[in-house]
């Protein structure tokens, strides 16, 4: 368990930052338009590709002739070429987004063309919708602008619309309507103050195909390329502050970028966005207090917490870390074999040790006479006589904290010699045979 105290702000300063234009979104459709949802049912439009027209992305500009299968079956229909793109477009004559007649598509003509609604004689009045499928965040920005290239000869009843949503695509508002009468590529730009400082902005394009008894609409159909959304960072001020903070064992700065674990007092810096979208730069006078949760297993049925200044509460690990009544001393003498931990309160912090297994009776109860360690004590050079055992043995040397510091599989029937670098202290040598018979002996390093 750890607790954290963050003190109050002690001083604040500020410095102005000039606005700059940044790109928030761009798509030239060369990657296939993965940022868009095409042919959705929004705004009451045709959902999917079951209507007379649909939105597609391809790089087809050549027209062609196909046989009509709806109004005048068997009669040829000729579609002119889509005009080539000017140099200003990023990937000139590459992929572009456009409306395509289903009848033309069935006939193998795939450039920008549309089936004109004619008061439901052959083609029905309808609309086709497509929109961004993720939000643009304009928090901290103004002068939000959408810029794109387009063409659409169309007609008064076959026109394009630009739409915007400020709630992630739940509802839509028309930005511009009646985009038609443009047979060559041109560039348009739209902006609105309401788009600024919004977390969930999306843009969409809609093709309206109303009834037109005069059949006066002409290709090329509504086509779009190089969609660019930009915004200006709002002129704001960086803020400066100085705070004091205390951490128990560790401290993570408010931004989450850094975590400090070294005990002591230090000065660190952190930066997070402030209310205006600029930087809040903090100088943190940091103190990290440590909690010593180390425990020594005395191998005599007891364990001792090593904290010199803490207070203690021993816990029974095998029963969901239940507190043991009255067990509040540095040393705990167990009444039964099991796993035990100690909760240490030190320097205003609380933390819990790892569990250690305390064996009632210590080594004396289990120490084996079937193998011998000599000399003992020693300084790391010793021998183990296994001449009284049979079969392979898994040998482990375990420290008082329960950590295995050395292990190997060894044969019985002889004497093993070791020269190990071990810290001074008491260790447990444990042998486990193929029948899982356990034999133990004490090793003392001086």
> If we measure between CA atoms, which residue out of 146, 160, 220 comes closest to residue 188?
146
**For range 311-321, the mean pLDDT:** 94
**For 203-246, how does the pLDDT look when each residue is reduced to its tens digit (9 = 90+)?**
999 999 887 655 557 899 999 999 999 999 876 677 888 999 99
Gap between the Cα atoms of 299 and 77, Å rounded: 96
Residue with tokens 């348009």: 188
Mean pLDDT lowest for which of 132-146, 323-337, 426-440? 426-440
Tokens of 236: 């704001």
**For 433-442, how does the pLDDT look when each residue is reduced to its tens digit (9 = 90+)?**
888 888 888 8
Distances (CA, A) of 275 to 197, 239, 242, 352: 11, 10, 17, 39
Domains 22-233 and 367-445 share a fold: no
Which residue would you say has higher pLDDT here, 308 or 56?
56
Residue 118 confidence class, pLDDT cut points 50, 70, 90: confident
- pLDDT over threshold 50, residue 56: yes
Tokens of 42: 């929004």
- pLDDT over threshold 80, residue 383: yes
Residue with tokens 């009843």: 157
Q: Rg of the chain over CA atoms, in angstroms? A: 39
**For range 157-161, the mean pLDDT:** 93
- pLDDT over threshold 60, residue 109: yes
> If we measure between CA atoms, which residue out of 242, 215, 249, 263 comes closest to residue 351?
249
- pLDDT over threshold 90, residue 153: yes
pLDDT value of position 421: 92
Gap between the Cα atoms of 195 and 358, Å rounded: 67
What percent of the chain clears pLDDT 90, i.e. is strictly above it?
Answer: 59
**For range 257-272, the mean pLDDT:** 90
**For range 360-372, the mean pLDDT:** 66
Tokens of 112: 């920008």
Torsion from C-alpha of 65, 66, 68, 69, nearest 10 degrees: -170
Pairing of strands 331-333, 302-305: antiparallel
pLDDT value of position 149: 98
Pick the CATH number of 22-233 from 2.40.50.100, 3.40.50.720, 2.30.110.10, 2.60.120.200: 2.60.120.200
pLDDT value of position 249: 85
Per residue in 413-443, is it b (16+ CB within 10 Å) or e — as a string?
A: eeebebeeebeeebbbbbbbeeeeeebbbbb
The average confidence (pLDDT) of the chain is 88
The pTM of this model reads 0.52
**For range 160-183, the mean pLDDT:** 96
- pLDDT over threshold 70, residue 42: yes
Residue 1 confidence class, pLDDT cut points 50, 70, 90: very low
Gap between the Cα atoms of 401 and 46, Å rounded: 71
- pLDDT over threshold 90, residue 417: yes
Alpha-carbon 264 to chain mean position:
32
pLDDT value of position 231: 96
> If we measure between CA atoms, which residue out of 128, 188, 130, 178 comes closest to residue 155?
178
pLDDT value of position 50: 84
Any idea which architecture 367-445 has in CATH?
Sandwich (2.60)
What percent of the chain clears pLDDT 70, i.e. is strictly above it?
Answer: 91
pLDDT value of position 216: 59
Phi-psi map region of 391: left, alpha, beta (phi>0 left; psi -120 to 50 alpha) = left
**For 329-363, how does the pLDDT look when each residue is reduced to its tens digit (9 = 90+)?**
999 999 888 899 999 999 889 999 999 888 776 55
pLDDT value of position 3: 31
Q: Per-domain residue ranges for the chain?
A: 4-17+236-289, 22-233, 295-358, 367-445
pLDDT value of position 337: 87
HEC profile of the chain: CCCEEEEEEEEEEEEEECCCEEEEEEECCCCCCCCEEEEECHHHCCCCCCCCEEEEEECCCCCEEEECCCCCCCCEEEECCCCCCCCCCCCCCCCEEEEEEHHHHHCCCCCCECCCCCCCCCCCCEEEEEEECCCECCCCEEEEEEEEEEEECEECCEEEEEEEECCCCCCCEEEEEEECCEEEEEEEEEECHHHCCCCCEEEEEEEEECCCCCCCCECCCCEEEEEEEEEEECCEEEEEEEEEEEEECCEECCCCCCEECCCEEEEEEEEEECCCCCEEEEEEEEEEECCCCCEEECCCCEEEECCCCCEEEEEEHHHCCEECCCCCCCEEECCCCEEEEEEEEECCEEEECCCEEECCCHHHHHECCCCEEECCCECCEEEEECCCCCCCEEEEEECCCCCEEEEEEECCCCEEEEECCCCCEEEEEEEEECCCCEEEEEEEEC
Phi-psi map region of 275: left, alpha, beta (phi>0 left; psi -120 to 50 alpha) = alpha
């Amino acid at each position: 368990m750890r607790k954290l105290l963050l003190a109050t702000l002690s001083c604040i300063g500020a410095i102005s930052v000039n606005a700059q234009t940044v790109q928030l979104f761009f798509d030239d459709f060369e990657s296939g338009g993965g940022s868009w949802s095409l042919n959705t049912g929004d705004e009451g439009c045709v959902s999917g590709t079951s209507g007379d027209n649909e939105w597609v992305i391809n790089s087809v500009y050549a027209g062609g002739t196909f046989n009509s299968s709806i109004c005048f079956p068997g009669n040829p229909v000729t579609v002119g070429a889509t005009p080539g793109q000017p140099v200003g477009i990023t990937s000139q004559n590459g992929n572009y987004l456009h409306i395509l007649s289903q009848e033309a598509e069935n006939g193998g003509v795939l450039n920008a063309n549309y089936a004109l609604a004619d008061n439901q004689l052959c083609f029905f009045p309808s609309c086709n919708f497509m929109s961004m499928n993720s939000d643009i965040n304009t928090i901290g920005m103004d002068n939000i602008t959408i810029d794109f290239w387009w063409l659409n000869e169309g007609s008064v009843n076959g026109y394009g619309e630009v739409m915007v949503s400020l709630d992630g695509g739940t509802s839509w508002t028309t930005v511009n309507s009646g985009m038609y009468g443009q047979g060559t590529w041109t560039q348009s730009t739209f902006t609105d103050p309401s788009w600024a400082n919004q977390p969930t902005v999306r843009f969409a394009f809609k093709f309206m195909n109303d009834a037109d008894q005069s059949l006066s609409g002409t290709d090329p159909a509504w086509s779009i390329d190089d969609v660019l959304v930009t915004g200006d960072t709002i002129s704001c001020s960086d803020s400066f502050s100085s705070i004091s903070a205390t951490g128990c064992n560790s401290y993570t700065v408010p931004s989450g970028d850094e975590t400090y674990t070294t005990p002591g007092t230090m000065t660190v810096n952190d930066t997070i966005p402030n209310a205006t979208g600029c930087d809040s730069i903090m100088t943190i006078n940091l103190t990290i207090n440590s909690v010593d949760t180390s425990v020594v297993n005395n191998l005599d049925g007891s364990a001792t917490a090593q904290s010199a200044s803490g207070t203690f509460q021993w816990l029974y690990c095998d029963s969901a870390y239940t507190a043991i009544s009255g067990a509040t001393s540095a040393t705990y003498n167990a009444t039964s074999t099991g796993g035990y931990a100690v909760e240490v309160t030190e320097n205003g912090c609380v933390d819990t040790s790892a569990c250690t297994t305390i064996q009632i009776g210590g080594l004396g109860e289990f120490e084996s006479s079937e193998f011998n360690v000599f000399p003992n004590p020693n300084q790391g050079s010793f021998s183990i006589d296994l001449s009284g055992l049979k079969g392979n043995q898994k040998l482990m040397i375990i420290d008082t904290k329960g950590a295995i510091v050395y292990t190997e599989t060894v044969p019985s029937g002889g004497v093993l010699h070791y020269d190990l670098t071990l810290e001074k202290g008491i260790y447990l040598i444990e042998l486990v045979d193929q029948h899982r018979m356990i034999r133990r002996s004490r090793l003392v390093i001086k």
